Amino acid sequence: MARPRRRDDVLRTATTRFYEHGIAATGVDRLAADAGVAKMTLYNNFASKDDLVVAYLEHRDREFFERLDEHVADHHGNARRRAMAVVDVYEHYVRQDGFRGCAFINAAAELPRDHPGREVVRRHKAAVRDRWTDLIAALGHDEPHRLAHECCLLLEGAFVYAGLGVDDEPLAGVRELIHRRLATTTDR
């Protein structure tokens, strides 16, 4: 069996370590050891730890949108269920073993304002809102951007609560609120 490329080994290791232990707490030596590569191999694939952080966040972004696309496709022909797919994906992450909050919010809390990873976080959150805007527009809402913005704020707040362990069923209440907000639209 062929061994996956070293870059993939490092990125997979970074994805686990950065999420479970934090970016600042994860050193390059630990990443190289866990990935089973020499430190030079890590640097041959990522020019710096900052580049690896950006790759990690871009990987999480792709993973999120692939999962969202799957959920949306599962509800072809039902615009309301398609719009609720965003909540479905957030719930998927909450139910994962080892859930410790939003990878993007966690990273943003650790990274300085001028870190290139912060731009990846900003783009991801804006893309989630924009995708939700499109899904809500398909329902015929006259202000889909405003409604998507409101739904994002509700869902992100509940997701933070979930990451902190504040509530046993953190997304149940927000799911109902968002469902009611979307019910005020007219399906096309």
Nearest to 32 by CA among 11, 53, 50, 47: 11
pLDDT at position 185: 61
pLDDT at position 104: 97
- In the chain, % of residues over pLDDT 90: 84
pLDDT at position 1: 38
For residue range 58-105, list pLDDT tens digits in order: 999 999 999 999 999 998 889 999 999 999 999 999 999 999 999 999
Separation between Cα atoms, residue 137 and residue 58, nearest integer Å: 27
**Is pLDDT above 70 for 186?**
no
- In the chain, % of residues over pLDDT 70: 96
What structural domains does the chain harbor? 1-46 (1.10.10.60), 49-183 (1.10.357.10)
Separation between Cα atoms, residue 78 and residue 80, nearest integer Å: 6
85, containing H or E segment: helix 79-94
**Is pLDDT above 70 for 4?**
no
pTM: 0.91
What's the mean pLDDT when you consider all of the chain? 92
For residue range 120-154, list pLDDT tens digits in order: 999 999 999 999 999 999 999 999 999 999 999 99
pLDDT at position 172: 86
Q: At what angle do helices 79-94 and 116-137 cross, to 10 degrees?
A: 150
